[in-house]
């Protein structure tokens, strides 16, 4: 009887040992499968939205790009009321078709706009106003870059957009101001995560 108990104990001990030995592999497989399912779902959602809203997202990207490219064009920015309505429309379409990153950038940009222009509606050339202008333009560049990624899957640097639109970026302290604006936005986004 004692021998039988020892054999059963040995078999149980070996079974538990094999189970414990394979436990990390089993846990890893469960985690991998869970991540695959989550990743597949994300891809399906993105694919669905790209299919149903491809033209809309394309137009949204065009409109934001035009807004930043023609930033100082008086023909594009004639009517203040029209400009506000266009901005509201851009916000609405960005919310509808943009990724979570794009919408988050838009939210921070909007909050920045509200705070900055509620405090100081006079546009001038003080250091603080130039800094705020750089931050606003950098937010817009990041939104365009994010929409570009949403629509095409290509990631572009918002600073490259700055190089496209600011013809004297390398003169004076424009480049440093843009780098500082970019870093400030990075810091704001990092605090919110």
In a domain, 79, yes or no: yes
2: Cβ contacts below 8 Å, ≥ 6 apart: none
Task: Determine, yes or no, domain membership for 18.
Answer: no
Q: What is the pTM of this model?
A: 0.63
Residues of the chain above pLDDT 90, percent: 7
Is residue 8 domain-resident? no
Whether the pLDDT of residue 16 is over 90: the answer is no
Count of domains in the chain? 1
- Residue 81 within any structural domain of the chain: yes
In a domain, 183, yes or no: yes
Contact (CB, 8 A) for 98 and 147: yes
Q: Which residue has the higher pLDDT, 142 or 94?
A: 142
Distance CA 64, CA 94 (A): 9
Residue at 113 is within a domain: yes
Average pLDDT of the segment spanning 82-86:
75
In a domain, 32, yes or no: no
Give the residue numbers spanning the domain of 85: 54-192
The model's confidence at residue 6, banded by pLDDT at 50, 70 and 90, is confident
Task: Provide CB contacts within 8 A for 114, sequence distance 6+.
Answer: none
As a residue count, the chain comes to 193
Summarize pLDDT for 19-57 with one digit per residue, the tens.
666 767 766 777 776 766 666 776 776 666 666 566 777
User: 3-class DSSP state for residue 135?
Assistant: helix
128-155 average pLDDT score: 86
- Dihedral in degrees, nearest 10, Cα atoms 25, 29, 30, 31: 100
What distance in Å separates the CA atoms of residue 138 and residue 161, rounded to the nearest whole number? Answer: 9
Nearby residues of 109 by Cβ (< 8 Å), 6 or more positions away: 136, 139, 140, 142, 143
Would you say residue 137 lies in a domain?
Answer: yes
């Amino acid at each position: 009887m004692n021998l039988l108990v020892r054999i059963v104990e040995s078999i149980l001990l070996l079974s538990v040992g094999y189970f414990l030995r394979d436990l990390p592999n089993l846990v890893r497989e469960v985690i991998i499968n869970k991540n695959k399912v989550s990743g597949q779902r994300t891809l399906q959602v993105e694919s669905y939205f790209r299919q149903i809203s491809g033209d809309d997202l394309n137009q949204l990207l065009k409109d934001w790009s035009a807004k930043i490219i023609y930033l100082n064009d008086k023909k594009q920015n004639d009517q203040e009321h029209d400009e506000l309505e266009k901005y509201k429309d851009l916000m609405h379409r960005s919310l509808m078709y943009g990724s979570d990153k794009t919408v988050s950038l838009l939210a921070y940009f909007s909050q920045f706009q509200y705070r900055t222009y509620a405090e100081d509606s006079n546009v001038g050339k003080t250091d603080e106003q130039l800094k705020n202008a750089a931050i606003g333009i950098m937010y817009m560049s990041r939104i365009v870059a994010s929409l570009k990624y949403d629509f095409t899957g290509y990631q572009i640097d918002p600073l490259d957009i700055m190089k496209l639109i600011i013809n004297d970026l390398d003169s004076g302290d424009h480049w440093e101001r843009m780098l500082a604006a970019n870093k400030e936005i990075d810091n704001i986004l990092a605090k919110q995560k």
